Structure 1
Amino acid sequence: MSGFLGQMLQGVLGGGQQGQASPIAGILQQVLSVKDGDKQGVAAIISKFQSAGLGQPVQSWVGTGQNAPVSGNQVGQVFSQNQIEGWAQQAGTTPDAMRDVLAQALPHVIDHATPGGQVPAQTTDLSGLIGRLFGGAGTTR
């Protein structure tokens, strides 16, 4: 899937410029760093989706089968309006577009972060994971 996610997200944001993947990669790193109680990273994202009544789709992302889709509106039930607006501002887009980007990206990100259907206790190499999904775009430090 190398590079595919970056191209897909650029299309959602309405541009085809290579540089647009960089802020999205950084935002996905922030999303994967969220906390939910005593959970952080992938486990926290899964917990937040389950708490929002979206356990079935998120479990499909963890599992080894087909990833179930979610909508931008459903992503808006998982993350606060302030989080969405902050990420949208960083990416130079609207909150609606950011919700749509996250709805398309998170199934792929969680799927790749849970190889073999196992949720890692802690997601440590976020930049490497995001880099693989974006084909290396925008993940250097």
Structure 2
Amino acid sequence: MGILDDALKQFTQGGGGNASQPLVVILQELLVGKPQQPGVRQASPQQEAEVPQSSAAPQGGAGAGGLGGLLAQLQAAGLDDAVKSWIGTGQNKPVQPEDLGDALGKRAVTQMADKAGCSQQDLLSQLAAALPGIIDKLTQDGRVPTQAEINQRIRGQ
């Protein structure tokens, strides 16, 4: 299995809550990006490699820019210290659910909670507990991986 499955297994076994399949889908959307719409052309690996990793998240909301977009969005919202701790070595700093909600935006949080079938507060609590460890595992070499690398790591390849 992939990183998400492993991390969520640890998360649920650690008493962090009951991670459900919808939460896995939400996390995949945040880390990989929104699912492609039929007929919409995806960027090639070459085009993805040309996108600067420090660019801000697209206006499409949380998840539209994959891991790089998510990290940029969190950093722009004042969570820079926490994000740097997740990418770097050492202890991962926690993030408060309400701060995460502010960073992701009310509209995006509402859509994700509806999709996951839970309250916004429950979703944010689960994301705040899971994201630091998952991002830490995805960036274990101290750098933000390319989308192709993220896809491989999430799928366990």
Shorter-normalised TM range: 0.7 to 0.9
Question: In 2, Cα distance between the equivalents of 1:91 and 1:26?
Answer: 8
Question: In 2, Cα distance between the equivalents of 1:124 and 1:78?
Answer: 25
Q: Where does the alignment leave 5 or more consecutive residues of structure 1 unmatched? A: 133-141
Task: Please give the per-residue CA displacement for 1:86-138, whole angstroms capped at 9, x wherever unaligned.
Answer: 11112221011111111111101211111211111325544852x66xxxxxx
Distance 1:23 1:128, change over 3 A: farther
Instruction: State the structure with bigger RCO (CA 8 A, min sep 6), 1 or 2.
Output: 1
Identical amino acids, percent of aligned pairs: 31
TM value normalised by structure 1: 0.74
Q: Tell me what 1:37 maps to.
A: 58
Question: In 1, Cα distance between the equivalents of 2:129 and 2:23?
Answer: 12
Amino acid at match of 2:74: F
Q: 2:137 aligns with which of 100, 108, 112?
A: 112
Larger Rg: 1 or 2?
A: 2
> How far off its partner does 1:44 sit?
1.0
> How far off its partner does 1:85 sit?
1.1
Q: Tell me what 2:11 maps to.
A: 5
* Number of equivalences: 124
Q: Tell me what 2:20 maps to.
A: 21
Q: Where does the alignment leave 5 or more consecutive residues of structure 2 unmatched? A: 35-55
Moved over 6 A (4+): none
Distance 1:93 1:8, change over 3 A: farther
Q: Tell me what 1:139 maps to.
A: none
Q: Assess if the C-alpha contact under 8 Å between 2:74 and 2:103 holds in 1.
A: yes
Distance 1:124 1:106, change over 3 A: same
- Tell me which moved more, 53-62 or 37-46: 37-46
Instruction: Let me know the Cα RMSD of the aligned residues.
Output: 2.7
Question: In 2, Cα distance between the equivalents of 1:123 and 1:8?
Answer: 30
